[in-house]
Structure 1
């Protein structure tokens, strides 16, 4: 009788371990996603204060520190859980995964290329975000962008200008495929000079 009771308790304990482990993993995932979400909100609030026509080094330094913290959290998250969709972790946390990479150095952006490609092919990242990533990486590598998402503030003319765009004549076809508005509308919304 004692042997049977010990065996039953042992089996129950062994069976409960995977269940506990799965619940703990879900709890950890939610906790990490919440941290990324909070950092993303802070990042977005700080970026709203940026004025390209004014130099605010204190604000820029604060953004750099926050970007570094967010990137560190996102790197750990991706190593542990892989890329998670909006449905899995919520819109803000999912945005945080993307923004951390988008605001990182060229080398860091390159290091995430495989996971971004995989997320895109598995429909876990929006087409428009993928287009932003591709364009920014190309611009950083001194290549013309494909989708026309990247622009800069030209101090000489005191206006926003697009970084060089490949095959400008067919830009709207490529933008449409990625769920982006026509280049003319995008330029008008962001006050960007439209000539190449």
Structure 2
């Protein structure tokens, strides 16, 4: 098995994703719902990565190296229109982390992202969105003390520190809160239903 070529292919998927994100930030289009071009790329990347996973299993550190393993996680994290694929990957990632073959932080982020889309409280506080006050805030979580304890266990900073970082990042990217939060929430729920996250 030529893991070097596979690793390069996975890294290329990530680079395409980030290049498109940068383009959307520059054009001020990142905050306007799920961009069609981005959705198409995320779905296509998920399809390619799924084929790779079906061939080699989860792209673990020992198979593809740190950069490609983290790139695979980013592609999975962004494959939000593919609930089945994300749920399949979180199970594979749990096994890889238990064998010290993947980063536990990646598992924390993916676990939270799935929880948020399914409408459950997140465990690590990694997922953020705009609140009623126009501030970027963590999506609902169970309990701050427990969240900070879990974050510490996987090498993350406190939720309070992360909130400051995230708010600074959206300012530096000139991202603005949505003008109509209620309408955005409604579209988000319609999208979750259409994608198969909720019934």
CA-CA distance at 1:100 after TM superposition: 2.1
Map of 1:139 onto structure 2: 116
The TM-score normalised by the length of structure 2 is: 0.72
SS in 2 for 1:191: helix
SS in 1 for 2:35: helix
Give the structure 2 partner of residue 6 of structure 1.
none
Structure 2 residues without counterparts, runs of 5 or longer: 169-199
Runs of 4+ in 1 over 6 A off after TM superposition: none
Choose which of 96, 106, 111 in structure 1 pairs with 2:71.
Answer: 96
Q: Does the 8 Å contact 2:128/2:136 carry over to 1?
A: yes
1:41 corresponds to which residue?
15
RMSD over equivalenced CA pairs, Å = 2.3
Aligned 8 A contact 1:147 1:175 in 2: yes
Structure with larger Rg:
1
Identify which of structures 1 and 2 has the higher relative contact order when contacts are C-alpha pairs closer than 8 Å and 6+ apart: 2
Contact 1:67–1:103 (Cα < 8 Å) also in 2: yes
Task: Pick one of 29, 38, 59 that aligns with 1:84.
Answer: 59
Pairing partner for 2:143 from 167, 171, 196: 167
Count residues in correspondence: 163
2:175 alignment counterpart: none
Task: Provide, for residues 4-25 of structure 1, a one-character-per-residue CA deviation record: whole Å limited to 9, x for no partner.
Answer: xxxxxxxxxxxxxxxxxxxxx2
Partners of 1:188 and 1:89 lie apart in 2 by 34
| Distance (whole Å) between structure 1 residues aligned to residue 90 and residue 64 of structure 2 | 21
Which stretch shows the higher mean deviation, 157-166 or 61-70?
Answer: 61-70
CA distance in 1, matches of 2:147, 2:4: 39
